[in-house]
Structure 1
Amino acid sequence: MATAFDTQTRTLVSQAQLARPAGRVLYWTVFWVLMVLFALVFLFPLYWMITGGLKSPQEIIQTPPTVVPHAAHPGNYSTAWQVLHLGRLLWNTAYYALGALALQLVFDVAAAYAISKLRPIFGNAVLFAMLATLMIPTTVIILPTYLTANSLPFLHVSLINTPWAIWLPSVANAFNIFLLKRFFDSIPTELLAAAAVDGAGPMRTLWSIVLPMSRPILGVVSIFAVVAVWKDFLWPLLTLPKTSVQTVNVGLNQLSVGISQNVFIAALAIACVPTVVFFLIFQRNIMSGLTAGAMKG
């Protein structure tokens, strides 16, 4: 059985070649060289940013640049924290990201559940229209979106310098709705039919059956929602001109004038810490959620 399995499995390197000492050495050599190369490509920018925050003002502008700082200056990080008000900027960004996450979990889940399981009239047409918006570049709709946020139709209320300017546009996320809808499609219909026989309505079925089974995809949607708000720059730049309510990306851009380059790089390194830690904690959710619902059965 093992021989038949090995002969039927197609790989870049056959089992016969790996059985030879020379082939095995060549395989592992190429494997580790590529692994180290890709690791350097992805990790070196982070290393360059962290070490750049430890350099002196003279060394940071030195040509050619130094890979390893001649002398570490960790005080640059405390200076960046105080001068650039990173505590306030990080709190503002976290507040906007969590608010956007809460609204997306409510409205996007409801939309995906309705399209997938309740099957309203023209549901597929609505889904197609939402997915079609993903083909439109963000810069094309940035002006009409800003005009809408500046003066809401019929209400004539401005959302500028308020959290709602970040929260409301983030709710209409066609990609997250599509991910949720695909996962909900993989949930057996028999479970929902059994719940209906027991007297559970659509809301009770969603809360008691669908959501507990959807934890992997909810984790992925949560990660996407938080990261999208955290990394956004153009929209907060337009809608949050007030200094006290700006996000970390906009605030660093506005407050970087007159700041030495090494201190500014240290601030950038600090701003990256929450997202890196967030990814390290929830990386399993990313992989499990992206593959969840890929196969029915």
Structure 2
Amino acid sequence: MAADGTRSRTLISRAQLARGSGRRLYWVCLCAVVLLFTLVFLFPLYWMVSGGFKATSELVRNPPSFVPAHPELAPYRTAWSELHMGRLLLNTLIYAGGALALQLTFCVAAAYSLSKLRPVLGNVILGMMLATMMIPAAILIIPQYLTVLDLPLVHWNLVNSPWVIWLPSVANAFNIFLLKRFFDSIPEDILAAAAIDGAGPLRTLRSIVLPMSRPILGVVSIFTVIAVWKDFLWPLLTLTDPGRMTLNVGVNSAAANMQENVLIAGLAMASLPTIAFFLLFQRNIMSGLTSGAMKG
């Protein structure tokens, strides 16, 4: 029986878990399932990282070797110097940082307006925003490209500039929806008390709403950075200058002239920052996604 008097249904009853054989069988099955899924998800990463330590002949050998026979760092050093990984990493960090700053600014403003200021036809506007999520991203490539070639009104060509990455990522319907749902869970009594003290909407947002919204802001930040980091098609079309390419585009452009082990080493180095970023902030993802689920 649960604390509220309701009975919880599980695959294994409490009586079976109380027995020694049932408890052992339960833990064996649990550990086996966890180990299986861990191997399924981690093995591709291990294969990529270990492939960078192998010689080219060992990498293409059939049957493959799961452990490098003679590990060497030369492929990683070659990939870092020949692929100009430092420059590509810096470019990608600039693009991701600018997109994050702009998206937080505009998405927070839009979500706060829809949640707390309640403009006329606010639900209609939100519905139209969410409807854009039903449009495949590939369909928008051509209109976006024609737009950045000749920006309306000002007639600027944004190709090979950071703005070509920043502007398309400013408004994100999914992140606006996440932020609005979180803002909806903030009690109105707190905002009413701030209004009585003379705080306007901007002061309330800056001093009360944003400090309470750190979990969901962390989630939006992670989603934004990873989306820019892993994007390939749009930077491939709009960043043709080798000195301005992102990490994915730069590695791909040099793939034709690279040895297999050097290329895999470059791909491993390109993947590690996002993996480390996710591992550091994975708690923010879970807390941010669930913190606005209940009001009060």
Query: What TM bracket, shorter-length normalisation?
Result: over 0.9
Aligned partner letter, 2:81: Q
Query: Residues 239-283 of structure 1, C-alpha deviation per residue, up to 9 Å, x if partnerless?
Result: 111110000000000011211000000001111111111112111
Measured after TM superposition, the shift of residue 73 of structure 1 is 1.5
1:242 and 2:241 correspond: yes
Which residue of structure 2 lines up, in the alignment, with residue 265 of structure 1?
264
Query: Residues 34-64 of structure 1, C-alpha deviation per residue, up to 9 Å, x if partnerless?
Result: 0110000010001100110011011111111
Equivalent positions of 1:40-55 (< 5 A) are 40-55=39-54
Which residue of structure 2 lines up, in the alignment, with residue 104 of structure 1?
103
Q: State percent identity of aligned pairs.
A: 64
Task: Report if aligned partners of 1:219, 1:289 keep a CA contact under 8 Å in 2.
Answer: yes
Measured after TM superposition, the shift of residue 206 of structure 1 is 0.3
Inter-CA distance 108–168: structure 2 relative to 1 (3 Å threshold) = same
Measured after TM superposition, the shift of residue 7 of structure 1 is 7.8
Aligned partner letter, 2:45: L
Query: Residues 99-124 of structure 1, C-alpha deviation per residue, up to 9 Å, x if partnerless?
Result: 10001111100000000000001111
How far, CA to CA, are the matches of 1:4 and 1:155 in structure 2?
64
Quote the RMSD (CA, aligned, Å).
Answer: 1.3
Query: Residues 184-227 of structure 1, C-alpha deviation per residue, up to 9 Å, x if partnerless?
Result: 00001111111111111100010011001000000000000100
Which residue of structure 2 lines up, in the alignment, with residue 37 of structure 1?
36
How far, CA to CA, are the matches of 2:45 and 2:88 in structure 1?
21
Aligned partner letter, 1:136: I
Aligned partner letter, 2:114: I
Measured after TM superposition, the shift of residue 3 of structure 1 is 8.5
How far, CA to CA, are the matches of 1:279 and 1:258 in structure 2?
32
Task: Report if aligned partners of 1:6, 1:15 keep a CA contact under 8 Å in 2.
Answer: no
Question: When the two structures are aligned, how many residues end up with a matched partner?
Answer: 296
Query: Residues 51-105 of structure 1, C-alpha deviation per residue, up to 9 Å, x if partnerless?
Result: 1001101111111111111111211101100011000001100110011000111
Which residue of structure 1 lines up, in the alignment, with residue 198 of structure 2?
199
Equivalent positions of 1:202-217 (< 5 A) are 202-217=201-216
How far, CA to CA, are the matches of 1:60 and 1:277 in structure 2?
26
TM superposition outliers: structure 1 runs of 4+ over 4 Å: 2-7
Which residue of structure 2 lines up, in the alignment, with residue 80 of structure 1?
79
3-state DSSP class of the match of 2:119?
Answer: coil
Equivalent positions of 1:257-296 (< 5 A) are 257-296=256-295
Measured after TM superposition, the shift of residue 138 of structure 1 is 0.4
Query: Residues 123-146 of structure 1, C-alpha deviation per residue, up to 9 Å, x if partnerless?
Result: 111110110000100011111011
Aligned partner letter, 2:83: L
- TM-score, normalised relative to structure 2: 0.97
- TM-score, normalised relative to structure 1: 0.97
